[in-house]
Structure 1
Amino acid sequence: MTMWVPSLAEFSGSRYRAIASAIEAAIQAGELLPGERLPPQRRLADALGVTIGTVTRGYAEAERSGWVSARVGSGTYVRSKTQDNAVSLTFPADETAGVIDLSLSLPPPHPLRQSLLSEALLALSQSGAALARGVTYQESQGRREHREVLARWLNTLGMSLMADELLITQGGQHGISLALSTLLRPGELLAADALTYPGAISAAQQGHLKLVGIGQDSEGMRMDLLEAQCARQPPRAIYLTPEQNNPTGACLSAPRREQLVALARRHDIWLIEDGVQYLPAEQRGTPLYKLAPERTLFVFSTAKVLAGGLRIGVLRAPKSLHERLATGLRAQSWMVPPLMVDVVCHWINQAAAEKLLTWQTQELAERQQLAAQWLQGFTLSGRSHSSNVWLTLPEGSRAVELCDRLLQRGVKVSSAEPFCVGSTPAPQAIRLCVGAAADRSELIQALGIVAACLGERPLAPATL
């Protein structure tokens, strides 16, 4: 592929501004396309006969103007038209036909999901009360009878929650956004694991919040680093996924949970606990909403347990916040559509729903074992019943190049870049979602391709 090299003679001003202007012109003319990576700075500097510092300033100016986006450890890329200031979230598209997509954290497919949805829709279509609810306005926090059904179900899953604690949301992402917009004003500081869920990063950026990443290890967020951050500037809130970090799978240890709560109380910090990535009760620790109920908001969704398309979840919060949260929810969407809540409540009351979750728990354990077998000898981390596997690459390998190579061979995975908070350097690692494969046979096919690509000689790094 021919490297893009602009003619700076066409642009006035300093050399670095000419480079920025050339980037803008090339994007507008379609010479540089959304998602395309700009040439390495050293190579472009050599081609133009300028210093690398000039190119660096030119790229920075183009980024400041919103034309490109720099990714730590990866390069500088042309921004998509819809990217704005938020992290781009990847969704399946028609062009992925024939590709085994392991980039999204999804529950394993099962025909029971469609059957339970069909049964719920049929039952509701014959219920005059449900149809009446479906065409009228409801309370912003959700109908009490709906919250009671959801609370009973959550208790069967080992989550001790009461209906009066809950607000019904349009899924986990909505719950995170609602919590952030209620607790923090623009410009206030939010702390999170240095590698965390891209949706939380996106929500923080949409709210114009300052976001700081706290280093982590196999036991989750490091409390010594959090304490140092609190000494410099205490965050207004901390977002974390204590049961399994997304993407690494690290579980916040019991001692660190106690230390976190003590720090939060000492510095008056809100805690946003994301429990959307489901694990069986016996694999979960003591939830933060039990350790610090007065300052913890707990986010849960049906996405990883029932089906992502339902877009129904709950937000557990202290009663002192309920009025503010309800006001925020009304401002965003007035209410959650009651018809979809009725669908979920009907679904979870069926015996087949418990059967489906039992199957899913066992299936994910089997898929995790397959990943361990096929990728034996490589460094893996994750929970035994999770959809995600975090694979740290061998020394000398580059995640972006591996992702490109895998995609060429029909397998899509995620590199670390979307999970990086702020200026956190992207580790050379990839996330594979074993739950997303259509079945075990397809997963084995994908894992074989991953193993083969890992066994190949890494591509030589670009000269800088």
Structure 2
Amino acid sequence: MTIWVPALPASGTRYRLLADAVADAIARGELNAGARLPPQRRLADALGVTVGTVTRAYAEVERRGLVEARVGSGTYVRGAESPALAFHQIAAGGDTDIVDLSLSLAPPHPDRPLALGEVLNAIGRDPAALTQAVNYQPEQGMPRHREALARWMTRLGMPVDAEELVVTQGGQHGIYLALQTLTQPGERIAAGALTYPGLINAAQQLHLKALRVPLDDHSMDVEALARLCAQQPPRLVYVTPDQNNPTGACLPEARRERLVELARAYDFWIVEDGVQYLPAEERGTPLYRLAPERTIYLFSTSKVIAGGLRIGTLRAPPALRERLAIPQRAQSWMVPPLMVEAACRWIESGAAAKLLAWQLEELAARQRMACERLAAFAPRGRPHGFHLWLELPAGWRAAALLEQLERQRVRVTSAEPFCVGSEPAPQAIRLCTGAARDRAALSHALETIATALEGAPSTPWRTL
């Protein structure tokens, strides 16, 4: 079978020449959207280079957003609608026959659409609210909205002042605003070796160099970060201290204090992501309370009320607020006030508190179910968390397990989308207990996963 083989110049860095050749072929239409790039070993043999050179070239083209690597399948040219990362997408009207545990979602509840309908009906009967909804508002958000959100966060154990808040279009938008405000293209940022794919994606879009900080059982290894800072101090450090995504690990108090000490010593910013909500008893001291002058804190309604609202908050020190307004204004001028009004009314009605109380009970029950059925495989997670992290038994490959589970109509996520840098992904999976439509579906999925892991792994050897 003939494969695409470019003609490379005689001189120059081989992986960069190959990456440029792929980019040129895509631009000319020689490699069309959806086309699979040649297998790395075959292309390496054809070009007379090492497999590592091709691997590095493909990674560079992926960093430019032109291709995407698919686990167990290969590397494909992106279409205009393709994501820059292997970020799982939520399909409208998805296949209800699949139990999809790949998405970090709040458990479904009929009160979510009902409560939204009630607040929208109330807004429709309020001429003043409708007038505000069709007019431009301040980039930071309306004072009344920020006050309502600040009171809510304070009740949830995250004390903030309204003047500290910028209203965002969800947590992902908050990450992008923070990076765009604090960094310039080419600068270094640091994050745990396994971290939220949205951070990796945003860093790629902004042409930032993401440095990996090793993890251990207690989340980020802060002493490894200290060694990194001595050699390549980052502009900022992104951290999810209460519930690492995907491992679920919590950063101990001593490490939080050490992280703040390093931030002051090496003059870097801290971006603290608190979007994956946990009750106060499962959280540590917020980093923004330890270092308010250099910490941006991100929160969102997505995991507590409804993801579709796309309403979040960004807590920032006074010196940053005007700077944050610039990218906010450039991107969308403001967050749509209608959606902020809906979120605030939902909170003020008491419906959000009722929903959250139910959700915490439901998540705790689901986490117990999963930990009991998968106990033989030592799953890790938080009692009220959204997901569990499962390191696979010896002999198992995550790609093979994902393929097997997909055939059995169960979907989970491998470690690959969470990897920072070029280190090999661990053989592990993340499964989100909140995503199942109900406990019966979750029980079926857990049984399927456990049964698969209790059997012998399929051999990776196809030929001798």
User: TM-score, structure 2 length as denominator?
Assistant: 0.90
How far apart, in 2, do the equivalents of 1:389 and 1:397 lie? Answer: 18
Match in the other structure for 1:377: 376
The answer to whether the aligner puts 1:143 opposite 2:139 as a matched pair is no
Q: Which secondary structure does the structure 1 equivalent of 2:97 belong to?
A: coil
Task: Specify whether residues 203 and 371 from structure 1 end up closer, same or farther in structure 2 by C-alpha distance, changes over 3 A only.
Answer: same
- Compared CA separation, residues 56 and 83, structure 1 to 2 (3 A): farther
SS for the counterpart of 2:210 is strand
Structure 2 distance, partners of 1:83, 1:65, is: 17
CA distance in 1, matches of 2:105, 2:256: 27
CA distance in 1, matches of 2:60, 2:197: 21
Q: Equivalent residue for 2:152?
A: 153
The alignment partner of 2:379 has SS state of strand
Give distance in 1, aligned partners of 2:399 and 2:164.
43
Structure 1 pair 119–12 and aligned structure 2 pair: CA distance change class (3 A):
closer
C-alpha contact (below 8 Å) 2:187/2:234 kept by paired residues: yes
What letter is aligned with 1:268? D
Letter in 2 for 1:133: Q
Q: Does 1:6 align with 2:6?
A: no
Residues 407-456 of structure 1, C-alpha deviation per residue, up to 9 Å, x if partnerless? 11101111000000111320000000000000000100111111111122
Q: Give the deviation of 1:221 after TM superposition.
A: 0.8
**In structure 1, what is the equivalent of residue 407 of structure 2?**
408
3-state secondary structure, aligned to 2:334: coil
Partner in structure 2 of residue 453 of structure 1: 452
Which residue of the partner structure matches residue 85 of structure 2?
A: 87
Matched-pair contact (CA < 8 Å) for 1:40–1:75: no
Given that 2:40 and 2:55 are in contact with CA atoms closer than 8 Å, whether structure 1 keeps it comes out as: no
The AA in structure 1 aligned to 2:2 is: P
For 1:214, give the aligned amino acid. V
Matches within 5 A, 1:277-316: 277-316=276-315
Q: Take 1:230 and 1:397, find their aligned partners in 2: how far apart are those partners? A: 36
Cα distance in 2, alignment partners of residues 232 and 150 from structure 1: 40
Q: What does residue 164 of structure 1 align with? A: 163
CA RMSD of aligned residues (A): 2.9
Distance apart, 1:398 and its partner CA: 0.4
Paired-residue identity, %: 50
2:440 aligns to what?
441
Tell me if the contact between 1:165 and 1:317 (Cα under 8 Å) persists in the aligned partners.
yes
Asked whether the 8 Å contact 2:32–2:77 carries over to 1, the reply is no
Work out whether residues 85 and 206 of structure 1, in 8 Å CA contact, stay in contact via their aligned partners in 2. no
Cα distance, 1:379 vs. partner? 2.3
Cα distance in 2, alignment partners of residues 83 and 211 from structure 1 = 25
User: CA, structure 1 residues 291+459, in 2 after alignment: closer, same or farther (shift >3 Å)?
Assistant: same
Q: Which amino acid aligns with 1:80?
A: R
Deviation of 1:12 (Å): 6.2
Q: CA deviation at 1:33?
A: 4.2
Q: Does 1:78 align with 2:83?
A: no
Q: How far did residue 95 of structure 1 move?
A: 5.8
Once the two structures are superposed, the pairs formed by residues 47-446 of structure 1 within 5 Å of their partners are 53=49, 57-58=53-54, 60-61=56-57, 64=60, 68-69=67-68, 76-82=74-80, 86-93=84-91, 94=93, 96-446=95-445
Whole-Å Cα distance in 1 between the matches of residues 18 and 230 of structure 2? 43
For 1:63 and 1:212, the matched residues in 2 are separated by 15
Aligned pairs, number? 451
CA distance in 1, matches of 2:40, 2:187: 35
Q: CA deviation at 1:92?
A: 2.2
Structure 1 residue 80, shift from structure 2 partner: 2.6
Cα separation, 1, equivalents of 2:262 and 2:50: 44
**Separation in 1 of the partners of 2:58 and 2:110?**
48
Classify 1:408/1:309 alpha carbon distance in 2 versus 1 (closer, same or farther; 3 Å).
Answer: same
Structure 1: distance between partners of 2:458 and 2:126: 61
**Would the alpha carbon gap of residues 418 and 237 (structure 1) be closer, same or farther in structure 2, given more than 3 Å must change?**
same
Unaligned runs of 5+ in 1: none
Please report how far the alpha carbon of residue 87 of structure 1 lies from its aligned counterpart in structure 2 after TM superposition.
Answer: 1.8
Query: SS of 1:380's equivalent?
Result: coil
Cα distance in 1 for residues equivalent to 2:278 and 2:392: 26
* Distance (Å, rounded) in 2 between the aligned partners of 1:38 and 1:459: 25
After TM superposition, the score normalised by the length of structure 1 is 0.90
Provide, for residues 244-295 of structure 1, a one-character-per-residue CA deviation record: whole Å limited to 9, x for no partner: 0000001000000010000101111100000000000111100000000000
Using the alignment, how far apart are the partners of 2:111 and 2:45 within structure 1?
63
Say which is worse superposed, 77-86 or 183-192, in terms of deviation: 77-86
Secondary structure of the residue aligned to 2:390 is: strand
CA distance in 2, matches of 1:143, 1:7: 57
Q: Give the 3 Å change call, closer, same or farther, for CA 103–321 of structure 1 in structure 2.
A: same
- Encode CA deviations 1:113-150: one digit per residue, 9 max, x unaligned: 11110110000000011100011000110011110011
Structure 1 CA distance for aligned equivalents of residues 157 and 48 of structure 2: 57
